[in-house]
Amino acid sequence: MKYINRKLNHALLAIAVCITLTSGCSEDFLKPDPLSFYEPTATFTTESGLMSALAICDRHLKLYWATDHNEMLTLGTEYIFSDLMAASATDKRSMLCDVANMLTPTSDNSSYQNLDRTNSIWYLWEETYKGIMYANTVIQFVEKVDGLAPEIRNAYKGRACFHRAFRYMALVFQFGDVPLVTKVLEVPKQNYRCTKRDAILQMLTKDMEFAVQWVPEQRNMNMIGMVNKGACRMLLAKCYLATGEYTKAKAQTDTLIHESGYELMKNNFGTFNDGGEPLTWSIARNVIWDLHRAENKLIPANKEVIMGMPNRGSDKESFVKMLTMRILYPFVFDTRLKAKDGKQALLNLKRTHADYNSRYDYMRAFGRGIATFRPTYFHQHSLWMLNGVEDTIDLRHNHTKGNWVRMEDYRVNNKASTEFEKPLTLRNPDNGALLCSDTIRRWYDVPHYKLYLDDPINDANKEGSDGNRGATDGGIADWYLYRLAEAYLLRAEAKFYLNPGDASIADDLNEIRRRAQCSQLYTGAVTIGDIVNERARELFWEEWRNVELTRISLCLARSGKPDEWGNTYRLADFDQQSGVEQQGGSYWYQRVTRYGIYNKGPVSIDATGNSNPNYTMDKKNIYWPIPYAAITANNKGTLSQNYGYDGYDPSTPKWDSWEEAVADEDKTGD
């Protein structure tokens, strides 16, 4: 596999959005072997060239979940700007916790190799525009390929439109008004303007209507993992919601639910994975466990998957590792977590030792976590309340089945301790003293069914390092992009904007809850908060949580419907307010501060880098700042900075329509 030529990369990215790559940043992980950007006019005159370009689009999409710094920082960044998670790498002084004060247009200028990074805002700008460039290449050159039947040509174009729309949907809800790039130019353009969010959304809607018309259904394709009609319908439904066309959004989800051949998986299916070390942690087989096993996600028996991202095989060069067990599980294997008698509670047991007993091998069962990101209290506890009852039977929160792991489920495995085999406790019951010095990084529960990934290759290496002793990091695993469960949630949302009193909204949510065997169901009127909570329960680490919360914030402002606290929002300024007080701000801000960790005061812990972290969030942080490097590189024009950040100027000109932006693309300002 060839590296992308660095000099060429600089030119291409200038063409794409007037940004420059940071030095020392190797891009070989994109593996663009079949695709040459040296001679695009030659490469894309053949169908094989188009297939190669789309293959790069598909791979690039998967990397949002799996890569950047080997710490899954990309998706983790989405979650720390939400109600569900917080940054927790407390050994790093640069940990993005004091967001209100730390996040500026120049704060995230780190390179790919900077080991002290704790977020991927830079990646979600640079790499997203690369993905747009790859999609634009297909859209631009598909008309130049001779011999393609019209329906084949339009299917290629529709898939590329999906990739471009998926990335722009992320950009407009992460950065707001951004440059619109729809073509690959022959010379760099350095006089871009930003295009208004709603104008871009209108273009995405048009493109996805085209894609739904021409991209085939999965059942009519001979490949898994390529963009299909169902995926296009899902994205089109989100476009319709964002633009206020709620009836059309409902129609798309109706088609997915009733006419496309998908169905919720309600019974055990596929291969049963026993969880790696059943003597340590026993799994009682259940449908939620089966649904989230990598070996079951993309098999024909799984009728729920609409589109998945293939990522399994023995060729390590072709697949990427999902380090969920390394990055998202608590950091428990050191002296900062103690038993009641003061001794280290959990040891890393070696399988080669004579006294090894697999019953106590928690590292092999749960991984050797370093807790780069941790769940909020809301995610662990309050979220699971319904009708005033904590639904412990819900399979997505059920520890007796093995799906959910609580700290109390660990037992002291240090034989030198008088507490050997007793459950961990956060405090010494005799005197109330904390037994965990860093409660942010070392004490929280996890949705094991989502995050456990086996690693058969490393599991066979009994004499390897800590990372080669089973699924202690995570594994190479297929992942979901869209499942039918989300179609039910989107339909419920569309119904809410049309008529909050519609009784069938509860039916859509309860369909998902019944599959999870919940004891509690929705009755009566359903709030937008109920819908957003059910998204959190069902789609954790699948959806882009920050993007979805911001999209829903726009929908509430556009529709005029109230949130769960009775607040209504104005379209003109819901996203242009500042301050850390709870009054005002967007729905995104209300969720992040009411349910998240932010603006509740410093947390006192014993950590080497951040011993007194103060988690703050400002109303302006609903959008991230446009990177200063992108603004300065656009030296023949002016990109607008977002509200509340240095450089913000409301008089900066923007394109009001996507047609104007497209018409300007060939004008380089020379």
CATH of the domain at 238: 1.25.40.390
Domain shared by 425 and 337, yes or no? yes
Token pair 């040891």 is found at: 347
Token pair 């950065």 is found at: 175
User: How far does CA 173 lie from the centroid of its chain?
Assistant: 13
Domain shared by 564 and 469, yes or no? no
Q: Does residue 653 sit within a domain?
A: yes
Domain shared by 201 and 100, yes or no? yes
C-alpha span between 92 and 110 (Å, rounded): 14
Whether this prediction's pTM lies above 0.85 is answered by yes
Average pLDDT over residues 511-539: 97
pLDDT bucket at 111, cuts 50 / 70 / 90: low
C-alpha span between 640 and 653 (Å, rounded): 8
Q: Does residue 352 sit within a domain?
A: yes
Among 453, 477, 501, the domain boundary falls at: 477
C-alpha span between 492 and 499 (Å, rounded): 10
Average pLDDT over residues 430-457: 93
Q: Does residue 159 sit within a domain?
A: yes
Residue 215 falls in which region: left (phi positive, over 0), alpha (psi -120 to 50) or beta: beta
Provide the residue range defining the domain that includes 426: 265-303+311-363+401-477
Domain count, the chain: 3
Q: Does residue 669 sit within a domain?
A: no
What average pLDDT does the chain have?
A: 89
Q: Is the pLDDT of residue 547 over 70?
A: yes
pLDDT digits (tens, 9 = 90+) for 629-645: 999 999 999 999 999 99
Provide, rounded to the nearest whole percent, the portion of the chain with pLDDT above 90: 76
pLDDT bucket at 165, cuts 50 / 70 / 90: very high
Domain shared by 504 and 653, yes or no? no
Amino acid in position 596:
G
Residues 160 and 54 sit within 8 Å (Cβ to Cβ): yes
Amino acid in position 636:
K
Per the model's pLDDT, the better-predicted residue between 618 and 358 turns out to be 618
Scored b (16 or more CB within 10 A) or e, 639-651 reads bbbbbbbebbeee
Q: What is the pLDDT of residue 465?
A: 58
Phi, psi of 557 (to 5 degrees): -65, -40
Domain shared by 133 and 252, yes or no? yes
Q: Which two tokens stand for residue 219?
A: 């059942």
Domain shared by 246 and 276, yes or no? no
Of 120, 90, 56, the residue nearest 436 (C-alpha) = 90
Among 418, 443, 477, the domain boundary falls at: 477
Q: Is the pLDDT of residue 247 over 50?
A: yes
Domain shared by 115 and 225, yes or no? yes
pLDDT bucket at 108, cuts 50 / 70 / 90: confident
User: How far does CA 286 lie from the centroid of its chain?
Assistant: 25
Please calculate the CA angle 57-635-626 and round it to the nearest 5 degrees: 55
Provide, rounded to the nearest whole percent, the portion of the chain with pLDDT above 70: 90
Residues 288 and 397 sit within 8 Å (Cβ to Cβ): no
Q: Does residue 83 sit within a domain?
A: no
Q: What is the pLDDT of residue 34?
A: 25
pLDDT digits (tens, 9 = 90+) for 277-308: 899 999 999 999 999 999 999 999 999 999 99
pLDDT digits (tens, 9 = 90+) for 302-332: 999 999 999 987 666 668 888 999 999 999 9
pLDDT bucket at 164, cuts 50 / 70 / 90: very high
* Cβ neighbour number for residue 98 with a 10 Å cutoff: 17
Domain shared by 292 and 250, yes or no? no
Domain shared by 12 and 157, yes or no? yes
Q: What is the pLDDT of residue 38?
A: 32
Q: How is residue 2 annotated by DSSP?
A: P
Q: Which two tokens stand for residue 128?
A: 């997203």
Domain shared by 356 and 455, yes or no? yes
pLDDT digits (tens, 9 = 90+) for 379-411: 999 999 999 999 999 999 999 999 999 999 999
Q: Which residues contact 566 (CB under 8 A, 6 or more apart)?
A: none
pLDDT bucket at 37, cuts 50 / 70 / 90: very low
Residues 159 and 153 sit within 8 Å (Cβ to Cβ): no
Q: Does residue 447 sit within a domain?
A: yes
Packed helices 504-515 and 528-539: angle between N→C axes, nearest 10 degrees: 20
Q: What is the pLDDT of residue 68?
A: 55
Q: What is the pLDDT of residue 6?
A: 33
C-alpha span between 627 and 430 (Å, rounded): 53
Q: What is the pLDDT of residue 353?
A: 83
pLDDT digits (tens, 9 = 90+) for 561-618: 999 999 999 999 999 999 999 899 999 999 999 999 999 999 989 888 888 899 999 9
pLDDT bucket at 467, cuts 50 / 70 / 90: very low
Q: What is the pLDDT of residue 116?
A: 65
Residues 562 and 546 sit within 8 Å (Cβ to Cβ): no
Average pLDDT over residues 231-236: 98
Scored b (16 or more CB within 10 A) or e, 490-499 reads bbbbbbbbee
H helix intervals, 307-412: 324-327, 362-366, 377-380
Q: Does residue 49 sit within a domain?
A: yes
Q: Does residue 368 sit within a domain?
A: no
Q: Is the pLDDT of residue 258 over 90?
A: yes
Domain shared by 541 and 601, yes or no? yes
Domain shared by 470 and 489, yes or no? no
Average pLDDT over residues 469-493: 90
